[in-house]
Amino acid sequence: MSGVMVLVEHRRGEIREITWEMLAKAQELSSSLGVEVQAVLIGRGLSGMAQELRPFCHRVLVAEEEGLEAFNSEPYQQVLGRLIEERRPVLLMIGHTAQGMDLAPSLAAALDLPLATDCYEFGLKDGRLWAHRQMYGGKLSAEVSSEAPTKVVTVRTGSFDPEGLREVGGEVEEIKVRLDPFPWKRFLEYVEAPPGEVDITQAEVIVSVGRGIGGPENLGLAEELARALGGVLACSRPVADKKWLPKDRQVGTSGKTVKPKLYIALGISGAFQHIVGMKQSGLILAINKDPKAPIFQVAHYGIVGDLFQVVPALVAKVRERKGG
């Protein structure tokens, strides 16, 4: 029976959250289309994870492979390639994550399948895929489509809610794939980020600066606001990339996830990869020149204006109140 396939993402023996999010979407599609939810689990030492997944899928396809202690796109591509040719799913979902970004495009090219990346919503209508994805740093969305019998999408994290996952019974099926050698790309080791001087994840108040701060010479301004509020400085990726602030201050997918009582975003546009790291903050204030900046979608309060004018005034008012 044809199905909606989900590639299980796991690392160091643990299933990653994106997997459950994709399964939630797969269950929804499965009910409306009358097809199976099939989870594909590739790696080593998988039996625990297979049992964890089984209740929520009609079928868990398990490929235990030698030498696959960590993710490697080349053998993954081989296993998925064989499975897709054999089982012809209507849709294959892969996370739009570091793994998925490494795997999905070459897999789709190898099998001559259409791929829509970084989708936050999608569905199938009369066999045709429609998918919504953002462009231009989140300022516009696009609807893309494909009519091919099998399509691949990579799924944006946080797009679907795993709370609604239902138990559907299901079975575990071992699959045997004779892998060709894959000597061109070898995993050597993981490297953890060194701990920084300041742990921004513990702060109650964060003043975070983006590219709009203009340069390191202007950081003092943000620092003053942080000091007045008893908070710490953090930043978006470009600020860390340019070394205006150390990497351990970066908020977002590839940085830290923070949940302070107050998060102030100064000159940050609100790209998805940033928002993921701060949207759970108690109170979010964004100051940005651009009224269309996506950051205003997640902020509770917004000021449309020049941070170089607003911040000094704000520092003065905060000091006034604290002193009084």
Partner 1 sequence: MDVVVCLKRVPEVAEVDLQVDPTGKRVKTEGLPFVLNDWDSYALEEAVRIKERSGAKVTVVTVGGEEDEEVLRRALALGADQAIRISDPRLQDPDAFAIARVLAQLIKDLPHDLILVGVQAADDGYAQVGPTLAELLGIPHATLVTSLELEGGRARVRRELEAGLEEVLEVELPALFSIQSGINEPRYVSILGIRRVAKKEIKVLGLEALGLEPEGVRPKVLLERLFSPPVGEGAEIITGGVEEVAERVAEIFERGGVI
Query: β-pairing, 91-95 with 151-155?
Result: parallel
User: Is 231:205 a contact under the CB 8 Å cutoff?
Assistant: yes
Interface positions, 172-231, toward partner 1 (CB under 8 A): 183-193, 204-205, 211-212, 229
* 308 binding partner (options ligand FAD, partner 1, none; Cβ < 5 to 8 Å by kind): ligand FAD
Q: Which is nearer to ligand FAD, 77 or 236 (CB)?
A: 236
Strand locations in 75-157 (E): 91-95, 115-125, 128-135, 140-146, 151-155
User: Is 179:79 a contact under the CB 8 Å cutoff?
Assistant: yes
Q: Which is nearer to partner 1, 178 or 321 (CB)?
A: 321
User: Is 19:5 a contact under the CB 8 Å cutoff?
Assistant: no
Q: Which is nearer to ligand FAD, 11 or 82 (CB)?
A: 11
Instruction: Dig out the tokens for 218 from the structure.
Output: 């202007």
Least distance to ligand FAD from the beta carbon of 138, Å? 9
The C-alpha torsion from 220 through 222 and 223 to 225, rounded to 10°, is 130
Query: Binding of partner 1 at residue 280 (CB under 8 A)?
Result: no
Q: Which is nearer to partner 1, 166 or 292 (CB)?
A: 292
Least distance to ligand FAD from the beta carbon of 289, Å? 4
Query: Binding of partner 1 at residue 43 (CB under 8 A)?
Result: no
Least distance to partner 1 from the beta carbon of 252, Å? 9
The C-alpha torsion from 13 through 19 and 24 to 29, rounded to 10°, is -130
User: Is 143:32 a contact under the CB 8 Å cutoff?
Assistant: no
Q: Which is nearer to partner 1, 30 or 159 (CB)?
A: 159
* 285 binding partner (options ligand FAD, partner 1, none; Cβ < 5 to 8 Å by kind): partner 1
CA angle 236, 242, 246 (to 5 degrees): 65
Interface positions, 76-135, toward partner 1 (CB under 8 A): 96-99, 101-102, 104-106, 108-110, 113-118, 130, 133-135
Under 8 Å CB-to-CB from 9, ≥6 apart: which residues? 15, 16, 18, 19, 94, 95, 97, 99, 100
Q: Which is nearer to ligand FAD, 95 or 210 (CB)?
A: 210
Query: Binding of partner 1 at residue 290 (CB under 8 A)?
Result: yes
Q: List interacting residues with ligand FAD (CB under 6 A).
A: 137, 210-212, 236-238, 250-255, 267-269, 271, 273-274, 277, 287-290, 293, 306-308
